[in-house]
Amino acid sequence: GEAAGGLPAASGAPLPAADPCFTARTDELTALERMLRSAPAGGCVAVTGMPGAGKTALAVEAAHRVADAFPDGRIFVDLRDGADTPADGPPADRAQTLDRLLRGSGGPAGPADGSSAAPRVLVVLDGVTSEAQVRPLLPALRGAVVLLTARRVPAGLPGLRSVVLGPWRPEEARRLVGLFTGRAGTRAVTRGGTPVLDPGPAPDPGTVAEIAELCGRLPLAVRSAAAQLAARPHWSAATLAERLREEGGRLDALRSGDVDVRARLLEAYAACPDEQRRAFRLLSLLPPGRFGAVQAAAALDLTGPQASAALEALADGRLVAVDRDGWHLPELLRLLAVERLALEEEPGAVRAGAERVCRAYVAAAAEPGHAADSGARGLVRLAMTAYEAGLWALTVQLTDALAGAGVQDEGEAAYTLALDAAERCADRPAQARMLRSLGDLAWQYRRVERAHELFSGALALARAADDEEEAARALVGLAELRLDAGESAEAAALLEPALTALSAPGRTRGRYEASRARALLALAQDGPETARAWFGECLELAGALRDHRLEVYALRSLRALSSPSGPGADSGFGSGSGFGPAATRAVEIRPGLWRIHPAGVRT
C-alpha cells in the first residue's frame, strides 16, 4: 500500500532479493551477522570499503540471514544521488518518510498489533556519503537497527560498529569458478529429445584465479569479467585472461552493459579534494606492490610525516590500502591513477616525480640485505621508466640493483635497455656489467654460444676500461661454460686469476660466484672434501652479503656433501641440481648435470 502523500509504505521498500551468486566473504559475513543480532534499538552498523568491493551485496546478504531477528520488518533505502526511493527529497522529508515507514512496520510508535514487545526493525541505508546525510534521519530511526553502506566510515554516529571490505582474499579468489559457469551463450544440445542448453566444460580454476588477480580481486570487476564471458560464447576463460593482461586496456575491458568499473572508481576519485587527487596520481609513479612512507614521500615530493598524513587521508577516501606490511594502491585503482597522471599532470612534473622515485629506490637497493627478490619486478619497471624518461645513469643504477634478484622473464629486456643507457653515458664499465648480466641470462637458458659471446664482450670491455673486478667476473662466466663442457683444465686456468682479483675488499659478490665455481670444479678434480671447503667459503660470503638465497644454496650444497649416500641422486644433487653422477665419480661434470637455477643463482 501507500502511506500519506503517495509515499510507499514499508512493503514498498522491500529488501532486494538475495543474490544467488553471492560468494566468499565468510569472515566478514559472520562478523556482520553477529553485530546485527546483538545491536540494540537505535544501534548502527556500517559496511565500508573501496568502490566495487561488494558493500551492498554483503549488506543485503546479511540482512536476509538475520531475518528471524527482525520479525517486524526490513527496509531498504537507497541514498545514492538520483535514486528513486522513499528517502528522496530534503533530509526533513526523508526523516518523515522513514518515520511513517517504521510506524507501519511497528517502529518507534510500537508494533502495529498493539502488543508491548519491543519492535525489531532493520533499516538498510545504502550509499551513505557522509555523517550529515544520516544524522537528520536518526530521530526517525531511534527504534530500529540501522545497517548502512558507505565508502568511508561516517564518523560521529553514536555507537557505530563497522566491517571494512577490501578485495577478495587470494584463497577466496580460488573459489570463484562458480561465477564463470552456467554462463549465457551456451551451445544447444538434445537430451531425451528435448533441447537444452549445455554450458560446456567449466573453465580452468587456474585461469579463473588469474582473471581474479588481473581484476585486483575486486568483486565488481570479477563479476564484470564473468558477465563478458557469459555474453561471448566464442570466448574461453583463457581468451578473457589474455585481453585483461594488457594494463593499458584493462579498465576498458572491464565494462559490460551498465557496469563500468572505471566509472565506479572515478566516483571515489572525484569525491576527494584536489590535493588528495594529485597525491593519488603521483603514487602511480611507484612500482606495483607495497611501499613505505619514504617511497611515497619521494613520489609526492613531501617530508616523511607529510607523506604519512597524505596516505592516511587517501586511505580514508579508500584510494589506497594499508596493512601491517605497508601501503599499496589496489590494482585497478593503480591503473586509474596511471591514467589520470597521463591526463592531468604536466610532462615535466611526471618526469621530475619519476626521477625522485628512481633515486629513492636506488638508495634503498644500496642498503645491505635489501631483499632484492621482494622488489625485483618493481626495479625492472622503474628501470624501464627511467629509460623512457631519458634518465640514463639511473637506468643503469636500477638495473645494477637487480644483481641476484631472479627476474629471468623480464631481466633480459631490462639489461638490454641498461646496456643502451650505458652506451649513451659512455660508461664502459657499466656496459661490461650489462653484457655479463645478459651472458648470465643466456647461460641460464642454455644459449651457450650466445653466453660465450656476451661474456667475451664483457671481458674485452672491462679490460679496456681497466675494471679488474668486472673482468674477473666475466672470467668466472667463461670458466663455468668450460666446466659445463667438461673442460676442467681450461676452467681452472680461467678461475685462478679471477679468484685472485676477486679476493680484494669490496668484491664479495664476485668472490662468491668464483668460489661457487671453484667448488664445482673441485668435485671434478679434487673430491668432496675440497669442494666442502669452497662451499663453506660460499656460506660465509653469502652471510656477509646478507643474501638469503645464496645462503640456502650453500647450505644445501654442504648438506648434500655430508649425506651418507654422497653427492648423488638422493642427496639433493641429482640431475639438474648441481651434482650428478659425473660429480660423484669426480671425473668430469657433464653438460646439464650440475646446473640448477634457483632464482638469481647460476649454479
Looking at residue 285, what is its pLDDT? 96
Candidate from 61-65, 180-184, 481-485 with smallest mean pLDDT: 180-184
CB of 64 within 8 A of CB of 54? no
* Model confidence band, residue 196 (pLDDT cutoffs 50, 70, 90): very low
Report the pLDDT averaged over residues 38-60: 94
Please check whether residue 336 is in contact with residue 269, taking contact to mean a CB–CB distance below 8 angstroms.
yes
The segment with the largest mean pLDDT, out of 103-117, 195-209, 391-405, 491-505, is 491-505
Q: Is the model more confident about 566 or about 578? A: 566
Instruction: Indicate whether 216 pLDDT > 60.
Output: yes
**What would the pLDDT profile of 96-116 be if each residue is shown by its tens digit?**
666 666 665 555 544 444 444
- The DSSP line for 113-169 is T---SPP--EEEEEEE--HHHHGGGTTTTTTSEEEEEESS--TT-TTEEEEEE-SPP
What pLDDT does residue 188 have?
38
Distant-in-sequence, close-in-space partners of 240: CB < 8 Å, separation ≥ 6: 211, 225, 228, 229
Question: Span 129-137, mean pLDDT?
Answer: 86
Q: Quickly state the pLDDT bin for 174 (edges 50, 70, 90).
A: confident
Q: Could you say which DSSP state residue 309 is in?
A: H
Closest CA to 236 of 197, 187, 180: 180
* Alpha-carbon separation of residue 291 from 160, 258, 271, 493 (angstroms): 31, 34, 24, 46
pLDDT given at position 369: 56
Q: Which helix (H) or strand (E) holds 187?
A: strand 187-191
CA–CA distance from 190 to each of 39, 181, 200, 201, 437 (Å)? 53, 20, 13, 17, 60
**Residue-level pLDDT at 35:** 96
pLDDT for residue 84? 44
- Between 132 and 426, where is the model more confident? 426
Look-up: residue for cell 667459503? 537
In this prediction, residue 375 carries a pLDDT of 72
In the chain, pLDDT over 90 holds for what percent of residues? Answer: 60
In this prediction, residues 564-579 reach a mean pLDDT of 42
What is the pLDDT confidence band of residue 190, given thresholds at 50, 70 and 90?
very low
Residue 367, CB-side half-sphere exposure with 13 Å CA sphere:
7
C-alpha span between 255 and 244 (Å, rounded): 12
- Residue ranges covered by each domain of the chain: 4-166, 171-257, 473-603
Query: From its phi and psi, is residue 89 left (phi > 0), alpha (psi between -120 and 50) or beta?
Result: left
- Which pLDDT score, from 0 to 100, does residue 343 have? 97
Q: Is the pLDDT of residue 601 over 60?
A: no
As a three-state string, the secondary structure of 530-584 is HHHHHHHHHHHHHHHHCCHHHHHHHHHHHHHHCCCCCCCHHHCCCCCCCCCHHHH
Give the pLDDT confidence score for residue 390 in this predicted structure. 93
87-96, 305-314, 328-337, 523-532: range with lowest mean pLDDT: 87-96
Question: In the structure, what pLDDT confidence band is assigned to residue 579 with cuts at 50, 70 and 90?
Answer: very low
pLDDT beyond 90 at 597 = no
Indicate whether 581 pLDDT > 90. Answer: no
Average pLDDT, whole number, for the chain? 83
CB 527 within 8 A of CB 586: yes
Model pTM score: 0.79
Given a contact cutoff of 8 angstroms between Cβ atoms, the answer to whether 65 and 26 are in contact is no
E-strand spans in 268-362?
A: 321-323, 326-328
- At a CB cut-off of 8 Å and minimum separation 6, what does 539 contact? 551, 554, 555, 558
pLDDT, average across residues 154-165? 86
Position 171 scores a pLDDT of 85
Q: Are 438 and 454 in contact (CB under 8 A)?
A: yes
Q: What is the pLDDT of residue 11?
A: 36
Q: What is the pLDDT of residue 310?
A: 97
Residue range 519-570, pLDDT digits in tens: 999 998 888 999 999 999 999 999 998 888 899 999 999 998 887 655 543 3
pLDDT at residue 133 in the model: 86
Using alpha carbons, list the distances in angstroms from residue 167 to 24, 207, 215, 377, 586.
11, 18, 9, 22, 55
Q: Give the gyration radius of the chain's Cα atoms.
A: 32
Share of the chain above pLDDT 70, in %: 79
Ranges 167-181, 253-267, 382-396: which has the least confidence: 167-181
Topology adopted by domain 4-166:
Rossmann fold (3.40.50)
Per-residue pLDDT at 603: 39
pLDDT at position 186 over 80: no
Instruction: Confirm if 185 and 230 have CB atoms less than 8 A apart.
Output: yes
CA-to-CA distance for 540 and 374, rounded, in angstroms?
Answer: 23
pLDDT of residue 3: 33
Q: Is the pLDDT of residue 474 over 50?
A: yes
DSSP 472-517: HHHHHHHHHHHHHTT-HHHHHHHHHHHHHHTTSTT-HHHHHHHHHH
The number of C-alpha atoms within 13 Å of 411 and in the hemisphere containing its C-beta is 25
The answer on pLDDT for 253 being more than 60 is yes
Residue 22, pLDDT above cutoff 50:
yes
Confidence bin at 571 (pLDDT 50/70/90): very low
